[in-house]
Structure 1
């Protein structure tokens, strides 16, 4: 039987544990990265003009917000991902992969971030005093979620071969 990889496990658990949000996985085999993309949607009932980080204006009825978390191979990723481009940047250990507890803690904490983010996005659209919106990732809270998950399983999930 084929050993479950970090990509298989992440995909399976993401679909089970983050059901209320739109997610996708992008595996870049050349750069040895796995990106988890998350999307939040909110109805723009008042037709507010919203500008994004790139200055693009929108008056769409439904606002879509996208962000991502990237897992990267510390040894082989050609260029370490810029933490300014992602919600979080999480390293893994080459072919050895990543501890299951890291993914488990990641999923628990990501779900919390998305729940809070959805509320913040709705407030942003309805409260004229709120000038901006972004998801907030607290590395300390993430680490606590990983520590909690370590109590249940600390085995490694290997990086997938292709």
Structure 2
């Protein structure tokens, strides 16, 4: 079987980020692949937390979810603000392997920092907002460290 973005990411995420809940959601009709990131933390103080939709929760375990969308600039339709980051791919050609490798490495950093920030947020009664941060400059610098391997592409999955 030929490796594609889905199989490549699935293998890399499973191998490199085993400690976090990361899933892939392929929307064939919209030509998108979402990398779904979930963080969990214990809400020891039983703080009332409002989610992005304004739903209140006092659950013992807080689940935070965000996503990174890989999209086809010619075909995909989405609301950019619904995602932590959106990254274009080049149709059937897919994405550069260096970009995917850099992204997986960077996601480990985003999740490590996010988990720490989420725990700090739950411990600080004055904190108003928790969000993951995504810095494209950091991603591109990690990606560039992989470019020495050449500019090979991982193709978009065939139907």
TM superposition score category, shorter chain reference: over 0.9
Counterpart secondary structure, 1:145: helix
Q: Hey, what does 2:21 align to over in structure 1?
A: 22
**What is the CA deviation profile of residues 59-78 of structure 1, one whole-angstrom value per residue up to 9, with x for unaligned ones?**
0000000000010112222x
Q: Which moved more, 1:146-155 or 1:128-137?
A: 146-155
Gaps of 5+ in 1: none
Distance in 1 separating the partners of 2:150 and 2:15: 18
Matching of residue 147 in structure 1 with residue 144 in structure 2? yes
Distance 1:153 1:129, change over 3 A: farther
What do residues 107-135 of structure 1 show as CA deviations (whole Å, max 9, x unaligned)?
11111010000000000000112211000
**1:75 alignment partner in structure 2:** 74
TM-score (norm 1): 0.94
Deviation at 1:152, TM superposition (A): 2.8
SS at match of 2:30: coil
Misfit runs of 4+, over 6 Å: none
User: With structure 2 as the length reference, what TM-score do the two structures score?
Assistant: 0.96
Q: Which moved more, 1:144-153 or 1:95-104?
A: 144-153
Out of 87, 95, 111, the position equivalent to 1:114 is: 111
1:91 corresponds, among 88, 91, 99, to 88
RMSD between superposed Cα atoms in Å: 1.0
Tell me the distance in 2 between the aligned counterparts of 1:60 and 1:144: 38
Give the corresponding residue for 1:47: 46
Check conservation: 1:75, 1:93, Cα contact below 8 A: no
